[in-house]
Structure 1
Amino acid sequence: MKSRKKIIFNGVFLAVVFALTIYGVFHGEDLSSMMDAIHRADKRWLLPGIALVAFFIWGESIIIWYMMRSSGIHLKKRTCFLFSSVGFFFSCITPSASGGQPMQIYYMKKEKISIPVSTVILMIVTITYKLVLVVIGIGIAIFGRGFLHKYLEGILPVFYLGLILNIFCVTFMTILVFHPLFAKTILVKGMKLLERFHLMRKKEGRLKKLEASMDTYRNTAAYLKNNPLVIVKVIGITFIQRMALFAVTWFVYQAFGLHGTGFWDILFLQAVISVSVDMLPLPGGMGISETLFLTIFSPVFGGLLLPGMVLSRGLGYYGELLISAVFTAVAQLTVGKKES
């Protein structure tokens, strides 16, 4: 019953956010001119963009496949691609991408992969995924002062907030992994404080669940200490994976025949959007991503700003959603029903 209510809530929440996004972005705009501009765009430049979205999904599957092998579990790459697709699909449609990893664990369990192993691997994926964003964000903040003032004057508070939240998340997860006893002490005291102020109902089983989760963090720490070279390679793959998705906007830029803004400027502007929205409780950063695009890409796309946003966001988010949805359906039909 709880699961069904959660699915209904997520579905309604997604629909409401989508409707508000559509209204906020297109209200009062000349839609016919926008469609004409999209129609005139050179579609040959959009094909590499679609390929990069597929590569982005595939990149995580290679990370999963690689870490599974390092744990002694041999899977076919196509099975790992299905796991990756499931994760991205449910991350796209749930607040704060909260539904991705639980569903991946569910499908991995169908392939007889133990929950502790899958949880550790997916936790490392999450840490490295956010770590790459943090490194890019800090790099822009420290070394890109001219870039910040040229493009980001209007959204600097949002960018810095997103960066701080990501730094906090990575730091907190790292503490959980390498200092589980210290983390447990903090969490237990925090839980008791919330119960004392009646902000959380007291439950007898909550402490046991916390202790069980601490085991996962201890296992993750052991994996990281025993496989440092694996982690370095995973970080490298993750960096390439994320940069590939950011590059989609450059191909959209080329599709309109525009010139004057360099490849790396466009790449890092898209990275700024990801840093800013990654920790926000919105499915796929919906709404805020479009708003930030229309703000910071204004000097880049000029009069083609709205069609540029539609194509860039259409490929980078909705294209990812569509591709991952197709392979999630394949996963539902095939995972656990034959040898991997």
Structure 2
Amino acid sequence: MRAKKKIVGNTVFLLAVFGLTLYGVFHGEDLDAMMEAIRRADIRWLVPGVALVLIFIWGESVIIWYMMRSFGIYLKKRVCFLFSSVGFFFSCITPSASGGQPMQIYYMKKEKIPIPVSTVILMVVTITYKLVLVVIGLGILLFARGFVHRYLEGILPIYYLGVLLNVFCVSFMTILVFHPVLAKKILLKGMDWLEKLRFLKRREERRNKLQESMQVYRETAEYLKEHKRVIVHVILITFVQRIALFAVTWMVYQAFGMSGISVWDIVLLQAVISVSVDMLPLPGGMGISESLFLKIFAPVFPGVLLPAMVLSRGLGYYSQLLISALFTAVAQMRSAWNERSG
């Protein structure tokens, strides 16, 4: 019953954010002119944009397949692609992408993969995924000052916040993994403090769950220490995966027959949006992503800014949502078939 209420709540929240986003972006705009500009875009560049989204989803499936092999679990790549699709679908529709990994663990369990193994693998995926974003975010601030002044002056507070939140997240996960005793003390003191302030009721069940979660971090630390080469490869694949998704906007740039801005400027601008919204409690960064695009891409897409945003966001987020939804349905049908057959 609680799970059904959560699903309904997430759906209502998603639809509400989507509705507000549509109103905020399109209110007062000339929709006929926008649609005409979109129709003029060269589809020969948009199709490769969809292919880049598939590469993005496929990239995580390669990581899962690769790490499973390090545990002696040999799965077909297409099965790992279903795991990846499930993760992206539920991440797209839940606040702060909180629903992705629990659902991946659920479907992995149906494939007889032990929960401790799937949890450690997905923990490593999360850490490397955030780490790559932090490296890109800090790299822009430290080594691309001209780029920052040229494009980001109007959104620097949001960007600084995004970088700060991601750095904090990666740092905290690193402490949890490599200093579990210290992390446990911090979490227990934090829990005591919240209980004293009566934000939380004192429950032993909550403390027991904390003990169980700390075991996951200990196992993750052991894996990282024993598989350094694997982790390096995972980080490299994650970089390619991220760049593939950011490059979707360059395909849109080409579809409008534009020139004068380098592919790397466009890729980095899209990375800025991802860094800024990644930690915000909105499904897929909905609303804020569109607003940031309209601010920082204004000099890149003169005359077709709104159509470019619609195509870029449509390919980068909404096509990702539809593709992952399709393969999540396939994963569900596969699971139901296996249950009937087994």
Q: Same fold (TM over 0.5)?
A: yes
CA offsets 1:291-340 (integer angstroms, 9 cap, x no match): 0000000000011000000000000000000000000000000137459x
Number of the residue aligned with 2:281: 281
Number of the residue aligned with 1:263: 263
Quote how far apart the aligned CAs of 1:50 are. Answer: 0.5
Letter of the aligned partner of 2:46 in structure 1? L
- Matches of 2:226 and 2:66, distance apart in 1: 15
Letter of the aligned partner of 1:270 in structure 2? Q
Which 4+ stretches in 1 moved above 6 angstroms?
none
- Matches of 2:175 and 2:204, distance apart in 1: 25
| CA-based RMSD | 0.9
CA offsets 1:230-265 (integer angstroms, 9 cap, x no match): 000000000000000000000000000111111000
Number of the residue aligned with 1:167: 167
- Matches of 1:335 and 1:43, distance apart in 2: 36
DSSP-derived class of the 1:156 partner: helix
- Matches of 1:14 and 1:198, distance apart in 2: 30
Number of the residue aligned with 1:105: 105
Number of the residue aligned with 1:48: 48
Letter of the aligned partner of 2:248 in structure 1? V
Aligned residue pair count: 339
Whether the aligned pair in 2 keeps the contact of 1:41 and 1:255 (CA below 8 Å) is yes
CA offsets 1:173-228 (integer angstroms, 9 cap, x no match): 00000011110011001101100010111112111100000000000000000000
Letter of the aligned partner of 1:157 in structure 2? P
The answer to whether the aligner puts 1:38 opposite 2:38 as a matched pair is yes
Number of the residue aligned with 2:119: 119
Letter of the aligned partner of 1:226 in structure 2? E
Change (3 A) 1:68 1:337: farther
DSSP-derived class of the 1:205 partner: helix
Number of the residue aligned with 1:93: 93
CA offsets 1:145-189 (integer angstroms, 9 cap, x no match): 000010000000000100000000000000000011110011001
Number of the residue aligned with 1:194: 194
Aligned ranges for residues 218-237 of structure 1 at < 5 Å? 218-237=218-237
Letter of the aligned partner of 1:31 in structure 2? L
The answer to whether the aligner puts 1:4 opposite 2:4 as a matched pair is yes
The answer to whether the aligner puts 1:14 opposite 2:14 as a matched pair is yes
CA offsets 1:55-106 (integer angstroms, 9 cap, x no match): 0000000000000000111100000000000000000000000000000000
- Matches of 1:87 and 1:185, distance apart in 2: 31
- Matches of 2:139 and 2:185, distance apart in 1: 34
User: Percent identity among equivalent residues?
Assistant: 73
Number of the residue aligned with 1:318: 318
- Matches of 1:234 and 1:217, distance apart in 2: 18
- Matches of 2:41 and 2:209, distance apart in 1: 53
DSSP-derived class of the 1:302 partner: coil
- Matches of 2:32 and 2:24, distance apart in 1: 17
DSSP-derived class of the 1:301 partner: coil
Give the TM-score taking structure 1 as reference length: 0.99
Number of the residue aligned with 1:210: 210
- Matches of 1:326 and 1:319, distance apart in 2: 10
- Matches of 1:93 and 1:295, distance apart in 2: 25
- Matches of 1:263 and 1:204, distance apart in 2: 54
CA offsets 1:94-125 (integer angstroms, 9 cap, x no match): 00000000000000000000111100000000
Structure 1: stretches of 5+ with no match in the other structure? none
Letter of the aligned partner of 1:184 in structure 2? K
- Matches of 2:337 and 2:64, distance apart in 1: 20
